[in-house]
Amino acid sequence: MKVAFVGLGSMGAPQARLIARGGYELAVCDAAPAAGDAFRGIARVARSPADAAQGAQIACVCVRDDRQVEEVVLGAAGLVESLAPGALVLIHSTIEIETLHRLQVPLKARGINLVDAPVSRTRPTDDAAFVFTMMGGEPDDVDRARAVVGTFSTDVDHMGPLGAGMAAKIANN
């Protein structure tokens, strides 16, 4: 399965490395081109989110805030430009629930599904599963995401409909 991962910061880079170790065909992208250097040889380093999403069935987003999430997903070179109908977008960033619902409308119009999958660090390691992932979304979409999310998660829980994972993460914070 092809997976795109956007956002190679302190949480995203270890998540992406574990996805690659899980045997997935991975393409990565970050706003800071140097962040991709550590992925040469283990993933395709893409020029933009749209480039990373070429042929991906699942696209993961782990960036700083709502504005960046919206740009990565819906921007001119965003994931939506390349993802095919049936693809799944996972939002690992901690953002407002309203932002998820705003994103869902244009994605759904293109046949792309959305799951909120924010993470909370559980172990002080980047070499093994190190986060708890709280997911919100349709049960079939959450089930489809589990294998990828399981590569970097100590635990994965489906909290309910879209936004429920984010609500649990916000309460956890």
Token reading at 48:
């933009």
Residue 72: per-residue pLDDT: 98
Catalytic residue (one of 68, 150, 169, 171): 169
81-98 pLDDT per residue, tens: 999 999 999 999 999 999
Q: What is the pTM of this model?
A: 0.97
| Spatial CA neighbour of 4 closest among 46, 64, 67 | 46
Residue 58: per-residue pLDDT: 98
User: Rounded distance, CA 66 to CA 161, Å?
Assistant: 19
144-168 pLDDT per residue, tens: 999 999 999 999 999 999 999 999 9
Residue 124: per-residue pLDDT: 86
User: Rounded distance, CA 22 to CA 43, Å?
Assistant: 12
Residue 126: per-residue pLDDT: 77
Residue 73: per-residue pLDDT: 98
- C-alpha Rg value of the chain to the nearest Å: 14
- Do residues 77 and 53 make contact, with C-beta atoms less than 8 angstroms apart? no
94-135 pLDDT per residue, tens: 999 999 999 999 999 999 999 999 999 998 887 899 999 999
24-82 pLDDT per residue, tens: 999 999 999 999 999 999 999 999 999 999 999 999 999 999 999 999 999 999 999 99
With 0-12 / 13-18 / 19 or more C-beta atoms within 10 angstroms meaning exposed / middle / buried, residue 11 is buried
Is 169 an annotated catalytic residue?
A: yes
Residue 29 phi, psi dihedral angles, 5° rounding = -155, 145
In 3-state terms the chain splits into helix, strand, coil percentages (rounded to 5) of 40, 25, 35
